[in-house]
Structure 1
Amino acid sequence: MTVDIEPSRAIPAHSWRRWVGLTGLLLAEAMNLLDATITTVAAPVIRADVHGSASSLQWIAATYTLPFAIALIPGGRLGDIHGRRRILLISLAGFLASSTVCAVAPSMAVLLPARAVQGVCAGLLIPQTIGLIKAMFDGAALGRALSLIGPVMGLTAVAGPVLGGVLTSADIAGLSWRVVFLANLPLGLAVLGSIRFLPEDRADRKPSIDVSGALIATAVAAALLVPAIDATIPPWARLALVAVGLIGAAGLAVHMRKTRARGRDPIVEPSLFRDRGFPAALLSSVLYFAVSTGLVFVVVLYVQEGLGASVLVASLTVLPFSLGLAVASLLAGQVLLARTGPKLMLVGVGLLGLGCAGGVVAANLAPAANLAPVPSLSPWLPVSLGLAGIGGGLVTVPFFTAALARVRPHETGSAAGLLNSVQQLGGTAGVAGLGAVYLHHTGTPGGALAIVFGTCLAIALVLAVSATAMLSSPKDVGQP
């Protein structure tokens, strides 16, 4: 997405209105990202209340993050064409309406489609925030405004599982998990109140929307992820879906090149894949977010369903990971990155792998079950999660800068949108895949958790290879 703002459209530099508008945009970003993680701890409670199947645990997350990921790419172009404030308002209204449906859903048959609508609306909303910030700020003020997005993303990652556990266990007005979705309403109304302070902004050049490409990408993602999510699918159907997904991915690549050759805008710029560093960055993003998102999901399942602990205890168990991620992100951004450069990522991957290795030990030392209000967890579990979180913080801070370092200016919007989409797809794959590994293990809960940690360790080793390839890519490829 290319953002070209006419000076007459921008809010005057001295105006306080733009800071109010910025606050609303950051709140909108936090609200949408929060919904990707806030149901992590509440999912087992939701499943029990609406009598869902075992695979519904993964579907609660996947039906949000998969549409979210796909909608991110065309979302930016819709704002370019129809106006970013208008698309923001429409997507916000849809998000709040679908949140309300989620809150009153009597069954999975109602909840899951509403979650999908939530995801689509979130994916359309997020790209508008960046464009509107660029419309309201320039120069040093723009840098300061954009620098606030990273901490907001970090805080939502920290707050999501914990907040979901606190709200569910508080059982406000007897609503239990439904408060998790109702919490979006006051946040959304606050964002709605700030919209009057935003400029109506659109790009000077209106790009075309690659509808066919978006549909193919959606089908490919669904074909590759559904077999990991739904355990009821027979083996032959799983293989067929994976084959369809791989063939579709090849077809999507051909479609993008033909679309660009016709002078139209493809869903993703094919030229991004000329530099081996960018595909390596995409793979690294999938692998990292699969581990970080999927591991937290599985630990929550282990504490709640394996040990019989409460929702609040489950949320506190994953707190070391969140705190480690937050502290390491702060240190990396303020101190470490300037001294080490993007190779700090490799240190982070090493610590992530070390935390996963410690998790294997912790899981093997864990009790088979404990029905006490506070289970007797192995002390190695929070230590291992904290170490993995620290590693994650050191990975995420330099990642996007390094991934976009050699991208040409005209490719930046497409690259950023694709990286954000892949982040969500990686999280979806992690919840689906690691969740399936845990749920389908026939031994003790501790044994299942050990296998999941071991799987994460193996993924971290592959991540080390892809991150090295990403950082060692020729430096002159992406220069204009």
Structure 2
Amino acid sequence: MVKNPRTLPADGPAPAPSSPVRAAPAAPGLTGAGLAVVLTGYGLSNMDVFIVNVALSAIGADLHSGPAALELVVSGYGLTYALGLVLGGRLGDAFGRRRLYAWGLAALTVTSGLCGLAPTIGFLVAARMLQGAAAAVLVPQVLATIQAATEGRARARAIGLYGATAGLSAVAGQVLGGLLVSLDIPGLGWRAIFAINVPIVSAALPAVRRVPATAADHRPGFDPLGTLLLGAGMICLLVVVVEGREPGRPLWLWSLLAVAAGAAVALVRVERSLADRGGSPLLAPAVLSLPGLRRGLAALVPFSVGFGSFLFCYALLAQGRFGLGGLASGLVLSPFAVAFFAAALLTPRIAAALGRRIVSLGAVVQGTGLLLMALVLGAGWPHPPLLPVLAVLALIGVGQALVGPTLFRMILADVPSEQAGMGSGVLVTSQQLATALGATVGGTLYLSLAGPLSQRSAAVLVLALLACFSATVLAISRRLPDPR
């Protein structure tokens, strides 16, 4: 059964912004075909975060650009993506999630084509920022549609597949990017990593009609001051996260943290005041105060920080210390992705048997895998044996899969269907920010320790720190609700 999502007309003008919408027949549930469509867009958006990493040297040589500009090719996408997620989710609540998903998918097609045709590095940076904005419109509609159009075991299965898609697309981006650049398919070179999106998304667009059309029962109003404060705070935080990876950080960079904190305090006051007056805050305090959402986010943040640190430090070791190219390093990481995908599919059954203890189990498995990796690297340096490395990567993938999708379910479990877009926007924004922060913290710590100590000691110490993040998730898991 579906929790009474509003069915939207395929065409026609939208109702007045503040007027209630007359109840319509319940939208059909999310079928397998509809789920495949929304996961395709999500997978491509997530893959675009990683696929460009292995092509940066080729882009720099072709467009005659330096490291700073190439960093913007990566961070520009992440900036507009993270910045627009909450607003994108809120727009889906207001104007219909299927409609916003279709718009985002179409925009992803256009912006991917622009990236592939970029004649200069400045054009490419601008196109990447537009591509991130398109992803910000598209991605929140995926979890929001799952939340609004499924229940019970169907929802658990759909969120499990969402989590599996996240892990698989992250590794697939690096592997596919390396493969496309090395094959140089019909002479496109690095441009093929963007061109590949166009036929896939173009094929998915006509199938969007398979996705149920859901939205809020009452169209929420616009919150300009809340949107401005959220945007200002996130821009400051994202600049610190991105620029914090570079050595010799200026003092003014850290002052942005104070600006972000001030914007956050002002945002809380503005949103509470607007809610008390019966308005439509961008971030509804009543939803953010739900115990499942608050406790789930408290576990998701250290989990995502650890995940971001692990992937970034893996890239530094694989491509820097051990000399693996983008394709080879991605292939070595494939046991992690395969184990993540397989375990995520089994997560609903395990959660049904263990309840919230599945998060505890996943944290223990993940932490054990990180400590074993530290042991393998420490004992086998400078040439660690490949088979134990692959086996431990698979173990870490299993631990990640037990925790991640389960936390998604817990966070969204009590979020009302009419605010599913806002809830999913908050979830994905928190995940993206924490993952980016983890890459900064992990990478900075590794590079800082590798100087006075050794690369071996630095790698072992960072992996031990990441195991502490798993221990934090384990401690928080004792207060989590049972997944539903």
Range of TM-score over shorter length: 0.7 to 0.9
Secondary structure of the equivalent of 1:177?
helix
Secondary structure of the equivalent of 2:279?
coil
1:116 is matched with 129
1:252 is matched with 267
The alpha-carbon deviation at position 258 of structure 1 amounts to 1.7
Judge conservation of contact 1:359–1:450 (CA < 8 Å) in 2: no
CA distance in 2, matches of 1:276, 1:136: 22
Q: Any residues of structure 2 matched to 1:44-443 within 5 Å, and which?
A: 45-46=58-59, 50=63, 53-54=66-67, 59-129=72-142, 148-195=161-208, 202-230=215-243, 231=246, 234-274=249-289, 278-334=293-349, 336-364=350-378, 376-379=383-386, 380-405=388-413, 413-438=421-446, 443=451
Relative to 1, partners in 2 of residues 1:319 and 1:42: Cα closer, same or farther, differing over 3 Å?
Answer: farther
Relative to 1, partners in 2 of residues 1:414 and 1:85: Cα closer, same or farther, differing over 3 Å?
Answer: closer
Relative to 1, partners in 2 of residues 1:413 and 1:121: Cα closer, same or farther, differing over 3 Å?
Answer: closer
CA distance in 1, matches of 2:410, 2:333: 28
Judge conservation of contact 2:111–2:130 (CA < 8 Å) in 1: yes
The alpha-carbon deviation at position 207 of structure 1 amounts to 0.5
Amino acid at match of 1:295: F
1:292-337 CA distance string (max 9 Å, x none): 2342233223322333333221111222222232233233334x22
Amino acid at match of 1:224: L
Q: Which moved more, 1:243-252 or 1:46-55?
A: 46-55
Amino acid at match of 1:265: S
1:352-385 CA distance string (max 9 Å, x none): 22222233344445666xxxxxxx5543543433
The alpha-carbon deviation at position 24 of structure 1 amounts to 3.0
Determine which of 457, 469, 472 is the counterpart of 1:465: 472
Relative to 1, partners in 2 of residues 1:132 and 1:469: Cα closer, same or farther, differing over 3 Å?
Answer: closer
Q: Which moved more, 1:272-281 or 1:221-230?
A: 272-281
Amino acid at match of 2:182: S
Amino acid at match of 1:385: L
The alpha-carbon deviation at position 187 of structure 1 amounts to 1.0
Amino acid at match of 1:360: A
CA RMSD of aligned residues (A): 3.7
Relative to 1, partners in 2 of residues 1:163 and 1:211: Cα closer, same or farther, differing over 3 Å?
Answer: farther
Secondary structure of the equivalent of 1:37?
helix
- The percent of aligned pairs where both chains have the same amino acid is 30
Which TM-score applies when normalising by structure 1? 0.81
Which TM-score applies when normalising by structure 2? 0.81
Secondary structure of the equivalent of 2:355?
helix
5+ residue gaps, structure 2: 8-22
Judge conservation of contact 1:77–1:209 (CA < 8 Å) in 2: no
1:139-170 CA distance string (max 9 Å, x none): 99888767654444444245333223322332
Amino acid at match of 2:266: G
Relative to 1, partners in 2 of residues 1:133 and 1:466: Cα closer, same or farther, differing over 3 Å?
Answer: closer
1:6-25 CA distance string (max 9 Å, x none): 555846x8xxx976555433
The alpha-carbon deviation at position 48 of structure 1 amounts to 5.7
Relative to 1, partners in 2 of residues 1:53 and 1:434: Cα closer, same or farther, differing over 3 Å?
Answer: farther
Judge conservation of contact 1:351–1:390 (CA < 8 Å) in 2: yes
1:371 is matched with none
Relative to 1, partners in 2 of residues 1:40 and 1:457: Cα closer, same or farther, differing over 3 Å?
Answer: farther
Relative to 1, partners in 2 of residues 1:201 and 1:347: Cα closer, same or farther, differing over 3 Å?
Answer: closer
Relative to 1, partners in 2 of residues 1:386 and 1:123: Cα closer, same or farther, differing over 3 Å?
Answer: same
1:174-216 CA distance string (max 9 Å, x none): 3333212111101110122224556766544111232332332
Judge conservation of contact 1:91–1:125 (CA < 8 Å) in 2: yes
The alpha-carbon deviation at position 274 of structure 1 amounts to 4.1
Relative to 1, partners in 2 of residues 1:302 and 1:460: Cα closer, same or farther, differing over 3 Å?
Answer: closer
Count of equivalent residues: 462
2:6 is matched with 4
1:232-290 CA distance string (max 9 Å, x none): 66431122112222222222222221221221222222234546664342232222223
5+ residue gaps, structure 1: 369-375, 476-480
Q: Which moved more, 1:163-172 or 1:461-470?
A: 461-470
Judge conservation of contact 2:358–2:403 (CA < 8 Å) in 1: yes
